[in-house]
Amino acid sequence: MHKTIVNTQPFSDQKPGTSGLRKRVAVFQQPHYLENFIQSIFSTQSPLSGGTLVLGGDGRFYNQTAIQIILRMAAANGIAHCLVGQGGLLSTPAASCVIRQHGAQGGLILSASHNPAGPSGDFGIKFNVANGGPAPEKVTQAIYAYSQTIRQYTLLEAEPINIHSLGKQHLGDMLIEVIDPVADYAALMTDQFDFAAISELLAGDFQMRFDAMHAITGPYAQAILEQRLGAQQGTVIHGTPQEDFAGQHPDPNPAHAAELVEMTQGDNAVDFAAASDGDGDRNMILGKDIFVSPSDSLAILAANANCFPAYPKGIVGVARSMPTSQAVDQVAEHKGIACYETPTGWKFFGSLLDAGAIHFCGEESFGTGSNHVREKDGLWAVLAWLNLLAVKRQSVRQIVQSHWREYGRHYYSRHDYEAIDQTCAEHLMDRLREQLPMLPQTRLADLTVAYADDFSYVDPIDHTTSSQQGIRIGFTEGSRIVYRLSGTGTVGATLRVYLERYLPPTGQHDLDIQQVLGTLATLSREIADIKQITGRERPDLIV
């Protein structure tokens, strides 16, 4: 088969963000754009040469085109073996599972996560390394550096490859194996949870819905919840992956999954509802008339880890991203286990998980996971909650409320200012940084600032430093305001403001969240001069 070398020029915007390279589809459709980035991965990640690569995505528009190009480039770049999810499909946690179980040297996940899809939507590429997790910063920096000097890429001339039938075929010297995208992952889940207990729960009066949001988790949820666990047919809604996610925003939060939230309210409310996102790594947990915040969900799962067959003696440690509420810290302190605060991005949990320092980790951005893979895992969190409900035989609300009675409640909310001008956003953050030395001991409203800093993290395992990871303003009674710019948007900048206030076990736990956080919300706008700098009166999204 003929190998072609194509001359090219660098694109200046190929720096990966919080989670891979995410751009509008039209950006990826530019001649050479995708190829340059893929060549930068193949040329810098030497273990891939002669090794095994896992390939799949969330099924969004442009996946099929990208997979054909990547296969031809992989074959031309000396990859020996490529495992492709049938139809080009693999959820992000399933890709992580396949990389680990097949001893692959890495994987490419084609997804822009929860961002909308379709010809005018977003596309993305994530490179995961041999531990199954997102590439750490030193790897993404090397890929970016290469992309800035690239002059050539190489690919095989070949007819389109059939990725829809299971089985093996050759492309040049490379073996392509089209695999069932669900099988390895479903088998792993049966090791993690008590499927018999969950089946028994689902066989009774218990009513649940799982919203796959027209994205990748449909086939996984149908196979695991309906076929293996015996949930009623129709439990999984919006279960057929579509290239444009039916024009919806597959972001599992109360704003974007409003239909599911409604199913948990009123006379015919279901007992439990959950949703996952475009690529299956996020989760939202709901009970009858209750939304479980991702930070609380992590804390509750950590507090009850001994309910899961994989952790009969509980867990050794936990980690959360810095802006995530400190609810899990309370659990760690009570249980005497380690607790780490990392920057935003699942990649920062990898070294802690690999070293056995933690078992569970999570983020406010609807991500929860464990050491079973190296990605956050939407269905894992759903099964964990089902396992918990099966063991405790209490409602979601009862479990959450008794957790608050034991550990106190961290009232928590994120206010997003979306698609603001990039220069304004950077100016706002710079001004905040300038104020930091003056803030400690200042009295603001009825609060006193205890500390104010720009979060910097030294990985305790590999000792790499990541600085400027978000501005934290902490108050003496435990409240916090955190500011950072999102690393996953594709239009302008998104300013995220995270608000947190703790009320102890004896405090009131049934108050309105935005009311409890009202003073902090006002302060957050004043301290950062949000209106003057961005022109925005109020956030575009409150979660």
Say which of 40, 113, 365, 524 is annotated catalytic.
Answer: 113
Residue 212 CA neighbour count, 13 Å, CB half: 24
Region from 58-66, 99-107, 463-471, 486-494 binding ligand G16, contact rule CB under 6 A: 486-494
113 noted as active-site residue: yes
Parallel, antiparallel, or unpaired for β 338-342 and 317-321? parallel
Kindly tell me which residue out of 60, 72, 100, 114 binds ligand G16, with binding defined by CB under 6 A. 114
Instruction: Provide the CB-side half-sphere exposure for 308 (13 A, CA).
Output: 27
Please state, in angstroms and rounded to a whole number, the distance separating the CA atoms of residues 192 and 201: 17
Choices 76-84, 94-102, 157-165, 344-352 (CB under 6 A): range interacting with ligand G16: 344-352
Is residue 344 within the footprint of ligand G16 (CB under 6 A)?
yes
- Name which position in 249, 403, 496, 525 contacts ligand G16 (CB under 6 A): 496
Cβ at position 364, least distance to ligand G16 in Å: 7
Task: Work out whether 295 is an interface residue with ligand G16 (CB under 6 A).
Answer: no
Residue 492 interacts with ligand G16 (CB under 6 A)? Answer: no
Give the binding range for ligand G16 (CB under 6 A) out of 204-212, 261-269, 338-346, 394-402. 338-346
Quote the DSSP letter at residue 23.
E
- Applying CB under 6 A, among 36, 325, 342, 365 the residue interacting with ligand G16 is 365
Q: How far is the CB of 136 from ligand G16 (least distance, A)?
A: 13
Residue 348: CB minimum distance to ligand G16, A: 8
The C-alpha atoms of residue 76 and residue 88 are separated, in whole angstroms, by: 20
Q: What is the Cα–Cα distance from 301 to 403, expressed in whole angstroms?
A: 10
Q: Cβ atoms within 10 A of the Cβ of 144, count?
A: 16
How far apart are the C-alpha atoms of 316 and 357, rounded to whole Å? 7
Q: Is 251 in the site for ligand G16 (CB under 6 A)?
A: no
Contact between 287 and ligand G16 by CB under 6 A: the answer reads no
If the CB atoms of residues 496 and 525 are measured against ligand G16, the closer one turns out to be 496
- Residue from 113, 222, 370, 371 touching ligand G16 (CB under 6 A): that is 113
Q: Is 63 in the site for ligand G16 (CB under 6 A)?
A: no
13 CB-near residues (< 8 Å, 6+ apart)? 23, 27
Sign of CA dihedral 224, 225, 229, 234: negative
Min dist. Cβ of residue 471 to ligand G16 (A): 14
State how far the Cα of 336 lies from the Cα of 292, in Å rounded to an integer.
Answer: 24
For ligand G16, give the closer residue by CB, 390 or 485: 485
Q: Residue 263 pairs with which residues in a beta bridge?
A: none
Tell me if residue 116 falls in helix, strand or coil.
coil
Q: For the chain, how big is the Rg over CA atoms in Å?
A: 23
Q: Which is nearer to ligand G16, 20 or 219 (CB)?
A: 20
Kindly indicate which of the ranges 33-41, 171-179, 186-194, 363-371 contains the residues binding ligand G16, using the contact rule CB under 6 A. 363-371
**E-assigned strands of 136-281?**
152-156, 167-171, 174-179, 208-211, 236-237, 272-276
Binding site for ligand G16 (CB under 6 A): 18-19, 113-114, 281-282, 321, 344-346, 363, 365, 367, 486-488, 496
Name the residues annotated as catalytic: 113
